[in-house]
């Protein structure tokens, strides 16, 4: 990936003149309106703040059969209902540090922490229906004594975790040094068109604008499905999917090159930003 080009649209301007003609006649002068380019709504799923822990377990096998490698990039959520098949990102999330200083996009490849039936992001949650949407049962158990402070297996909950992060997502994607509260967007809930990241050798850089001169602000894992919120033209990039100057905004100040996305077409599939 190479150099930047700021394609942010200029502010729209509006001129309106009004003239009053003597007597009963009233005449409006010509109105000139310069319209800004249409932008997509960020229809990318619900976001909840939860406590994230590092999974580790290098060499072990995830619930979908993946063997965990060093600096791996995936997440675990406490419900089998959103487990992506091995090598796919049907269920993917955006995880951002407080203030969205860094964001990581990763597939759900494991189940946990603590529970396996707690789809706390759902309005029809499978278990612990007495808790509000967005509150993991483990968090309620640890902080409020829900179920006597225990998980579904009767274990005493030792932290309020609602998501586990693989080492690469934790250290490299988000730059975390310790467990932390993060903002998680459950991307399969959104209505935006999606693209699949194709970057098997290393995670794809997420940048603050549509070009390689913009600052990296996170990583998108291979197979992650990301929302294509709007597009712009920027740096010409050659990647796993060809050569293009097309870039997509996939989150707030989060951009990736279409050269690493499988979208089903080489043309833009989201409106201009």
Band (pLDDT 50/70/90 cuts) for residue 123 is very high
* Confidence at residue 98, expressed as pLDDT on a 0 to 100 scale: 85
Q: Reply yes or no on whether the pLDDT at 163 is more than 70.
A: yes
One-character DSSP codes across 149-201: GB-TTSPBP-S-EEEEE-HIIIIIIS--SS-EEEEEEEGGG--S-EEEE--SS
Q: What is the mean pLDDT of the segment spanning 147-155?
A: 98
CATH topology of 44-191 equal to that of 193-272? Answer: no
Q: Reply yes or no on whether the pLDDT at 33 is more than 90.
A: no
Domain 44-191 has CATH 2.40.40.10: yes
Q: Reply yes or no on whether the pLDDT at 20 is more than 80.
A: no
Q: What percent of the chain has pLDDT over 70?
A: 85
Domain spans of the chain, in order of start: 44-191, 193-272
Q: What residues form DSSP beta bridges with 110? A: 76
CA 109 to chain CA mean position, Å: 16
User: Could you report the per-residue pLDDT of 193-202, keeping only the tens digit for each?
Assistant: 999 999 999 9
Give CA–CA dist 73/173, Å, rounded: 8
Fold classification of 193-272 is SH3 type barrels. (2.30.30)
Query: In degrees rounded to 5, what are phi and psi of residue 83?
Result: -85, 120
pTM: 0.84
Ramachandran area for residue 128 (φ above 0: left; ψ -120 to 50: alpha; else beta): left
Give CA–CA dist 261/220, Å, rounded: 11
> In this structure, are residues 128 and 137 in contact, taking their beta carbons and an 8 Å threshold?
yes
User: Could you report the per-residue pLDDT of 217-245, keeping only the tens digit for each?
Assistant: 999 999 999 999 999 999 999 999 999 99
* Confidence at residue 41, expressed as pLDDT on a 0 to 100 scale: 52
Higher-pLDDT residue of 6 and 48 is 48
Work out the mean pLDDT of the chain and round it to a whole number. 86
Give CA–CA dist 21/28, Å, rounded: 10
Q: Reply yes or no on whether the pLDDT at 167 is more than 50.
A: yes
């Amino acid at each position: 990936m190479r150099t930047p080009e700021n394609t942010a649209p200029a502010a729209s301007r509006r001129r309106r003149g009004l003239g009053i003609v003597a007597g009963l006649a009233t005449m409006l002068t010509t109105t000139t309106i310069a319209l800004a380019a249409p932008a997509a709504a960020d229809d990318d799923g619900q976001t909840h703040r939860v406590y994230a822990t590092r999974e580790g377990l290098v060499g072990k096998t995830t619930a979908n059969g993946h063997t965990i490698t060093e600096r791996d990039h995936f997440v675990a959520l406490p419900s089998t209902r959103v487990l992506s098949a091995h090598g796919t990102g049907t269920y993917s999330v955006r995880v951002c540090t407080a203030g969205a200083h860094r964001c990581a996009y990763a597939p759900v490849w494991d189940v946990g922490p603590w529970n396996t039936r707690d789809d706390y992001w759902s309005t029809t949650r499978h278990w612990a229906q007495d808790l509000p949407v967005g509150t993991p049962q483990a968090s309620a158990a640890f902080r409020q004594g829900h179920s006597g402070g225990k998980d579904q297996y009767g274990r005493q909950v030792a932290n309020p975790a609602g998501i586990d992060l693989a080492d690469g997502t934790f250290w490299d994607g988000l730059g975390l040094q310790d467990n932390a509260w993060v903002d998680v967007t459950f991307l399969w809930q959104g209505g935006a068109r999606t693209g699949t990241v194709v970057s098997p050798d290393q995670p794809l850089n997420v940048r603050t604008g549509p070009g390689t001169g913009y600052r990296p602000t996170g990583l998108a894992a291979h197979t992650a499905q990301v929302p294509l919120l709007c597009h712009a033209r920027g740096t010409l990039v050659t990647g796993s999917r060809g050569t293009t100057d097309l870039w997509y905004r996939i989150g707030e100040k989060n951009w990736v090159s279409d050269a690493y996305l499988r979208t089903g077409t080489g043309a833009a599939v989201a409106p201009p930003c």
